[in-house]
Amino acid sequence: MNEIGTVKQAAGVTRRELLIGLGAAGFALAAGPVSADRIVTSSEGLVVADITIRSGSDKIPAYEARPASPGRYPVVIVIHEIFGLHEYIRDVARRLAKEGYYAVAPELYSREGGAGKLPDIQEVLALVGKVSDRQVLQDLSSAVEHASGQPWARQDLVGATGFCWGGRMTWLFAAHEKKLKAAVAWYGPLGPWRGRRDEAHPQAALDLAQQLLCPVLGLYGEADEGIPVSTVREMEAKLKASHKTAELVVYPGAPHGFFADYRPSYQAEVAGEAWKRALGWFSKYLKG
């Protein structure tokens, strides 16, 4: 579980930096032995930093990445998986920065102590179950506010993308944040959180089809055991009936987590096509 494994190391990232980045237990718990296919995106040509964002009366940690060249860049909020803000999510932020975006990835479990040191998935699920959708949406909106206030940001061009748990929150955020111009949800559950509604998680993405405030691209795998294709098609029908700008793509044979290059579920060909599609979506709505 704590094995680092072999990784593809890009120029500009030292072995020491890589070990520090992979050191969180949450990353190891999510990955098991880290896949040899893991992508490591260099910070060369970028400005990257660990920052804090004020959200209500709290301060939450976050990671940001943007091009080093002078200019103003569209914003993309990166919403982490159930395992929190670990190195894979930071790498996704750098990938977006390489494409000309200012990416901000907040840690959304910081008040609860984070998922990084928890020993097993049941404890992670217990922690995440305590984190209300309302709190997460507040933190995400605070990340938008922070990013929009930076001199290198295009505050009129803001998007969001998230994975798994973060994919679910991407759908909810797209029905919450008026500043969003586009969103990409990666295999985000569409039904109630863990199959039931409760006080902390009162709504599902399926409930919010009529309330979306921006165009949304949803990327799903046909072999995802937790998200049946029938549910994806149900969401698709609701969006069409509501005349919302949305596209749902189901990749044949792809499992849940097909984009997570540090995990055994990774499928390079599908991930590459989906990434191009996501970039095309953001280019259309955030770059025009």
| Catalytic site positions | 164, 224, 256
Q: Which two tokens stand for residue 18?
A: 């890589």
The amino acid present at 124, given as its one-letter code, is V
Give the residue carrying structure tokens 């990671």.
Answer: 63
List phi, psi (to 5°) of 168: -60, -45
| Cβ-contact 22, 34 below 8 angstroms | yes
Q: Report the Cα 197 to chain-centroid distance in Å.
A: 22
Assign 187 to helix, strand or coil. Answer: coil
Assign 126 to helix, strand or coil. Answer: helix
Q: In what order do the strands lie in the sheet with 58-67?
A: 46-55, 58-67, 102-106, 73-79, 153-163, 180-186, 216-221, 246-251
Report the C-alpha gap between 200 and 176 in whole angstroms.
Answer: 16
Q: Which letter does DSSP use for residue 193 in this model?
A: G
List phi, psi (to 5°) of 84: 90, -170
